[in-house]
Amino acid sequence: MRKINFLILIFIVSFLTGCTGIKEQAKLLWGSSTQALENQRRQALVETFACSWEQCFSAIIQYANKEVLQTADENRAGFSNARPSDEATLKAVKTTNLEIFLQDRNRRIIVVMGVPGSVQTTEVGVFFTPMEETQTRIEITSLSTLAKIRAGEILFAHLGQKFQKINYGWLWDYHD
């Protein structure tokens, strides 16, 4: 009888809140909810680039995952007791501190963490909105203003090296 009452209660709650509410609550418990970042989009840093959203999305993923090969001796260069090894072994070393926490191509969002100067677990959302076929609006937001600004500096600079920045001449960007 208790199981039936519990199932009825779950059914009533899911009916009243809708499936979206349940999904978002599950994501919140799981730790992958982006609702707080989406709520901050009105205060986002915004730039537009001459690229498709897929190209911009891939460029951010590649940048965050960028690695270079270094020899073991180069890895020890900063230590006072470093000794040259007989055989230089190559090791992949990550060149950025950014970690991809979540990437969702369907919703056009990337969440990164590890922004320099902020707590390692501070989430920064990168939203991609196609403006035209070859133009994409990038919005960077976070609950931390410092993390948002620093991530914006890093990611916008990287995208600016790969794609032309579109300047509409607006003093600020308007959100619908």
CATH number for the domain including 37? 3.30.310.220
Judge whether 75 lies within some domain. no
Instruction: Read off the pTM.
Output: 0.66
Residue 58 lies in a domain: yes
The reply to whether 124 falls in a domain is: yes
For residue 91, being part of any structural domain is answered with no
Question: Between the ranges 34-43, 83-92, 139-148, where is the mean pLDDT highest?
Answer: 139-148
* List of E strands, 15-154: 45-49, 67-71, 90-94, 99-104, 109-113, 124-132, 135-142
19 within a domain of the structure (yes/no)? no
Domain count, the chain: 1
At 61-105, the pLDDT tens digits run: 999 887 555 555 554 444 444 444 444 455 555 556 688 999 999
Residue 114 counted as domain residue: yes
